[in-house]
């Protein structure tokens, strides 16, 4: 699991190469506390990240706890929002792996600040 996450985060920070460790039937939950239905599929997650990549300028792993095929990562992000705001924030990222691929991700972050800075 640690190797999968190391590959993911190295590629994610560089904006290339992270997709290789994502399962085809990947499940993602995040960004809306009222919607706990997962977004399913590798391509669907790639589309989420294409949008997300437009608002973060850098990321680093602050802490990683791995327990078998499960992990919790605290990622620290520098955001530059369309409204001109620059914010640094932590995101809690809960992962599972199966069959040598990352299988699911659930994220927790300050959705109110994010929403307020991405309004048009």
Per residue in 27-84, pLDDT (tens digit) is 999 866 677 788 899 999 999 888 888 888 899 999 999 999 999 999 999 988 888 8
Lowest average pLDDT, out of 18-27, 47-56, 85-94, goes to 47-56
3 and 16 Cβ atoms separated by less than 8 Å = no
Q: What are the helix (H) ranges across 21-109?
A: 42-52
- Write down the residue that tokens 């589309």 correspond to: 47
Q: Are strands 56-67 and 70-80 parallel, antiparallel or unpaired?
A: antiparallel
């Amino acid at each position: 699991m640690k190797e999968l996450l190391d590959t993911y985060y190295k590629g994610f920070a560089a904006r290339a190469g992270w997709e290789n460790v994502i399962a085809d039937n990947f499940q993602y939950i995040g960004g809306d506390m009222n919607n706990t239905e997962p977004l399913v599929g590798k391509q669907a997650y790639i589309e989420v990240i294409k949008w997300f990549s437009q608002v973060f300028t850098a990321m680093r792993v602050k802490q990683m706890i791995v327990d078998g095929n499960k992990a919790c990562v605290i990622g620290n992000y520098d955001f530059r929002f369309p409204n001109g705001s620059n914010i640094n924030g932590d995101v809690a990222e809960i992962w599972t792996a199966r069959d040598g691929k990352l299988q699911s991700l659930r994220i927790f972050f300050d959705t109110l600040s994010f929403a307020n800075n991405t309004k048009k």
